[in-house]
Amino acid sequence: MEAKPYVLGIDMGGTNTVFGIVDARGQVIARSSIKTQAYPDIDEYIAELTKEITRIADPVGGVEKIRGIGAGCPNGNYYTGNIEKAPNLPWKGIVPFAKLLSDSLGIPAVLTNDANAAAMGEMTYGAARGMKNFIEITLGTGVGSGIVIDGKVVYGHDGFAGELGHTKIVRQNGRLCGCGQSGCIEAYASATGVARTARELIETTNEPSLLRDLQAETITSKDVFDAAEKGDRLAKKIFDMTGRMLGEKFADFITFSAPEAIILFGGMTKSGHWIMDPIVEAMNENVMPIWKDKVKVLFSDLPESDAAVLGSSALAWELN
């Protein structure tokens, strides 16, 4: 057996940090988590993370069996190994996360943002195995993206390339986005965007809907899906509007990188054909003729419970 047969994947969120030890077949053989927000001091966080990683590594031979660590972090910069000014984390400014973790465990570490990690995971373990040109779109609380060209994730000159969720879909009087701009696709096609569309249509139309039985401020994208499954016309309209917006943007994305596929990842993919059908229709209506019906739109193959850890771990196989 290889002396160091495992890698470690870390998925850092604003609330929880989930991590796991992964073997070469893409199996998560041990996992744990800690509360991100419980450690306002980064040194305390690193100490607790090190302690938990060591604990789960002991039954499989210890941390010396881990060849590298990959981390998906908010505002994670692949080039520098730093988390840079992440708004939802307890540590402000620039945090040299990869160095701190590597120094603590004695294992090389690399990081990127969550969407790029998902793209790496898809290429290593998921629906993009064998592909060298694809775009991973994460549809969750926000809209993230990882762009792969010629088998490599695109990072740009500063490490932050590929923020497709913050390209504009509404140029005039668009919704305010969390990034500070207005009219971004994230403000419309994320789970929070879908819920917002539902509230707006309930307030501005008289169309009957099961959604009217709910408190408007509590409506979620899952509620919209449940209503669509029951034949609710307004819920179907919400998915049609959302999917068509995404499809129009996908047509633009295809034009600049000619991907073999666009792969959808994240909680919104549970909406299934309600979101997929209008995406594909609008994409092929708006794309240049040379790409019409040529680019596949697929749902991620990564197992939901381990997807983020697998995506992050995929970075670590490239470490020496």
- pLDDT at position 94: 95
**Secondary structure tally for the chain: helices H, strands E:** 9, 12
The domain segmentation of the chain, as residue ranges, is 6-120+306-316, 130-300
- pLDDT at position 2: 67
22 and 45 Cβ atoms separated by less than 8 Å: no
- pLDDT at position 320: 64
- pLDDT at position 213: 95
Distances (CA, A) of 258 to 85, 135, 250, 255: 32, 9, 11, 6
The phi, psi pair for 55, rounded to 5°, reads -65, -45
- pLDDT at position 13: 86
- pLDDT at position 87: 76
Domains 6-120+306-316 and 130-300 share a fold: yes
Q: What is the CATH number of domain 130-300?
A: 3.30.420.40
296 and 262 Cβ atoms separated by less than 8 Å: yes
Q: Give the DSSP per-residue string, 299-313.
A: E--S-GGGHHHHHHH
Instruction: Spell out the per-residue pLDDT of the chain, length 320, in tens.
Output: 568 999 999 999 888 999 999 999 999 999 999 999 999 999 999 999 999 999 999 999 999 999 999 999 988 999 999 999 887 789 989 999 999 999 999 999 999 988 899 999 999 999 999 999 999 999 988 899 999 999 999 999 999 898 999 999 999 999 999 888 999 999 999 999 999 999 999 999 999 999 999 999 999 999 999 999 999 999 999 999 999 999 999 999 999 999 999 999 988 999 999 999 999 999 999 999 999 999 999 999 888 778 889 999 999 998 86
Q: What is the CATH number of domain 6-120+306-316?
A: 3.30.420.40
Provide the b/e sequence for 204-221 (b: ≥16 CB within 10 Å): eeeeebbbeebeeeebeb
Helix (H) or strand (E) holding 19: strand 16-22
